[in-house]
Structure 1
Amino acid sequence: MSVLVIGGGPIGLAAAIEARLAGFSVTVVEPRYLEPGGIDKACGEGLMPGALPLLERLGVHPEGMPLRGVSYRSASRHVDHLFENGDGLGVRRTTLQTALAERAAELGVVTMPGRAHRIEQDDSGVSVTLAAPSGITPDVLRADWVLGCDGLHSVVRREIGLNTAINRTSRARRRFGFRQHFAVAPWSELIEVHWTPSVEAYVTPVSPTVTGIALLGPPGTDFLAEIAKVPELAIRLLGAAPASALRGAGPFHTRARKPSEGRVLLVGDASGYVDAITGEGLRLGFEQARVAVANVTAGTPRGYDSDWRRVTRDFRALTNGLVSVANGPLRSAIVPLAQRLPRVYGSVVERLAR
């Protein structure tokens, strides 16, 4: 039995490893497979504690910095919560990508450059036509199952007819992510989330000498201008040299009508995403990869839809609620409320950290 994984980022590679461990022959198709320095993406780079056992079962152990908890901060207040059941991990996206790629290769996963263009399926399998320059006959790959792990703007989701239009309210709340690293030693073992009137700034230590800063904000956000509006960050980064190029991603709010169609299962951001505000996208993607392969192994692809809803339920509820508050008149009250209600704040963090 064969599995074709479309998308070779961390979630695609995790899905490929899961499938190999289950005994499938696996091919990963990724257009940026030969990108110098590895595949990178704008993200907070903080793995919640619940993500680490999922990586452990895959045999993947990336190097990074321990994350002891989360700190919500505003200009005059802050509230900290230490994880109750073990640390998270701050790890460069490229470091995680490399560790997953090496494990996949060790297990015999075949990786090839390419971009899915057309997907057709029947009762016995799925045919994927790869994009090719004009005048060149495209490659057509055949597999028993396809896992679509190609991100927010998924071609797989579109090709199998699972895209859902975003309504006007959702469009008005569009948010984007931006990330850059700086050559400055981490000053905390907590994920700091600095709340300003318009953005959230996430600070994640990723090595003994490098700190990552990620922003979530509206279209047109000026990264450096927003950093300058947070005195605590501006002072910390004064004179610090950039350690990476500025990257952007988004908009984040994407939907799928359902997570699967026939022999094609959507995993990670391709299956629908609300916002990066809770910082647990990778943990969810790893968990989705696990249950997707479990259902393919059992020959019960329809079971994936209910499993997907189960593993994402807390995320969807908490993220929708937090994004609604963050985009409304109560935004400035988030940190003061968290400080006044530390048990509530801590319980929310723990639910997301699982």
Structure 2
Amino acid sequence: MAEFVGGDDAAGGGRADCDLIVVGGGPVGLAAAIGARQRGLSVVVVEPRSLPLDKACGEGLMPGAMAELARLGVEVDGHTITGIAYRQGLGPRFATHDFEGPSGRGVRRTALSGALVQRALSCGVTFVDAKVTALVQDARGVTVSLGGGSGIRSRWLFGCDGLHSPVRRMAGLEAAPRRRLVPARRRYGLRRHFSVTPWSDRVEVFWARRCEVYVTPVGGATIGVAILGGRGLDFDQVIASIPALAARLDGAEPDSTLQGAGPLRQRVRRHGVGRVLLVGDASGYVDALTGEGLRVGLAQAAGAVAAIAGAAREPVDVNRAYEHAWSRASRGANTLTAGLLALAHSPFRRLVVPISAAFPAVFGAAVERIAR
């Protein structure tokens, strides 16, 4: 990565150094950068961490995400995912559904990140190894200040910097915490890989008493195990509480260090202001419960790129256009996630798997909604 020093007027107003600054080098940020280059825009990605990036996540790419990666010209290695299975943590009940169309893929996050980085470089994306310390925007562009006193000015900026987005805060887009009579249930995630031959081509979701455990095949001899639940999760204790899973992992060697993420729920006032748009987890997040976060994030990235590319051809209200695109990409997924999350927090949690098994058509329709 190179140190980028903007033009003489990079401190505020004037000539732009590029069409788009993408803050954040995760999958959604890189997808946005690649998509913008495909539209002929010049792009700078600002990311202080060493690439490729890792993250505590389920690592299952739904068929819709695979289709978007193909459109971007990104190829990833991994393990075929044919569907989703819900399993009762302490019982024999289960519900399964195989995708009606193309398969998904289990891909280690580092492998996905590496493939996206290589594609972005081949497209002519510029990478800057730095941290954004401030941003100022005016009617014609956005100027970001970087560590060391340098800066960049662009016509547009995408905040793709994750759950705890500094861009969201700098742009004044964070929503004030809601006043609640009952304290909010904050949710967190843990993830670790194991060296073991996958026993299923499906993502298996074990519904334990107070958390969900996701098992995703990510290679011929590797699985990823992710746990979602409240504060204070103990990874080993959770696995031990599910005998069927504990038996599968008995003697398996860990293939990665334990990583965590959260709290997951993030709220925003809106998804853009002026020439700054929030994309991916930075634009607000409900939960990882349904496992479709990356599919939604990639769709948001495509919508954001389309909005600014449209403005280059004719006068367009970019914020309004992006709000419509964000809603199309996210609203249905967020509604489904919020509904399932409410059920998971209710006294009826133990009925999720039995109901799914009793009504396979309903379960299948929900899986297909998640997949596309």
2:85 to 68, 71, 82: 71
Letter of the structure 2 residue corresponding to residue 128 of structure 1? V
Q: CA deviation at 1:165?
A: 2.3
Q: Hey, what does 2:115 align to over in structure 1?
A: 99
Say whether the 8 Å CA contact 1:16–1:28 is kept in structure 2.
yes
1:191 to 191, 194, 203: 203
Asked if 1:10 is matched to 2:27, the reply is: yes
Q: How does 1:55-134 map to 2 (within 5 A)?
A: 55-74=69-88, 75-76=90-91, 77-130=93-146, 132=147
Q: Hey, what does 2:13 align to over in structure 1?
A: none
SS at match of 2:29: helix
SS at match of 1:50: helix
Q: Hey, what does 1:329 align to over in structure 2?
A: 347
Cα deviations across residues 309-348 of structure 1 (Å, max 9, x unaligned)?
1211111110110111111111111001101111111111
Q: Hey, what does 1:253 align to over in structure 2?
A: 265
Q: Distance in 2 between matches of 1:204 and 1:154?
A: 27
Letter of the structure 1 residue corresponding to residue 151 of structure 2? V
Say whether the 8 Å CA contact 1:146–1:265 is kept in structure 2.
yes
Q: Distance in 2 between matches of 1:345 and 1:352?
A: 11
SS at match of 2:215: strand
Cα deviations across residues 254-278 of structure 1 (Å, max 9, x unaligned)?
0111111111111100000000001
Cα deviations across residues 96-146 of structure 1 (Å, max 9, x unaligned)?
00000000000110111111111110011000112x3xxxx5211100100
Q: Which runs of 4+ in 1 moved over 6 A?
A: none
Cα deviations across residues 278-311 of structure 1 (Å, max 9, x unaligned)?
1011111111110100000111312101111121
Q: CA deviation at 1:171?
A: 5.2
2:165 to 151, 154, 157: 154
Identity of aligned residues (%): 51
CA change 1:171–1:52 in 2 (3 A) is: farther
Q: CA deviation at 1:166?
A: 3.0
Say whether the 8 Å CA contact 1:166–1:254 is kept in structure 2.
no
Q: Hey, what does 1:244 align to over in structure 2?
A: 256
TM-score, length-scaled by structure 2:
0.91
SS at match of 1:254: coil
Q: Distance in 2 between matches of 1:168 and 1:182?
A: 41
Q: Hey, what does 2:361 align to over in structure 1?
A: 343
Asked if 1:30 is matched to 2:42, the reply is: no
Say whether the 8 Å CA contact 1:160–1:261 is kept in structure 2.
yes
Q: Distance in 1 between matches of 2:277 and 2:38?
A: 18
SS at match of 1:117: strand
CA change 1:219–1:90 in 2 (3 A) is: same
CA change 1:168–1:327 in 2 (3 A) is: farther
Unaligned runs of 5+ in 1: none
Q: CA deviation at 1:168?
A: 4.9
Q: Distance in 2 between matches of 1:168 and 1:123?
A: 35
Letter of the structure 1 residue corresponding to residue 20 of structure 2? V
Q: Distance in 1 between matches of 2:227 and 2:30?
A: 26
Q: Hey, what does 2:277 align to over in structure 1?
A: 265
Q: Hey, what does 1:274 align to over in structure 2?
A: 286
Q: Distance in 1 between matches of 2:163 and 2:194?
A: 27
How many pairs align? 346
**Coordinate RMSD, CA, aligned:** 1.1
2:186 to 151, 174, 196: 174
Letter of the structure 2 residue corresponding to residue 341 of structure 1? F
Asked if 1:308 is matched to 2:322, the reply is: no
Asked if 1:235 is matched to 2:243, the reply is: no
Say whether the 8 Å CA contact 1:314–1:352 is kept in structure 2.
no
Q: Hey, what does 2:8 align to over in structure 1?
A: none
Q: Distance in 1 between matches of 2:334 and 2:253?
A: 37
Letter of the structure 2 residue corresponding to residue 66 of structure 1? T
Q: Distance in 1 between matches of 2:259 and 2:179?
A: 27
Q: Distance in 1 between matches of 2:189 and 2:77?
A: 24
Q: Distance in 1 between matches of 2:71 and 2:322?
A: 20
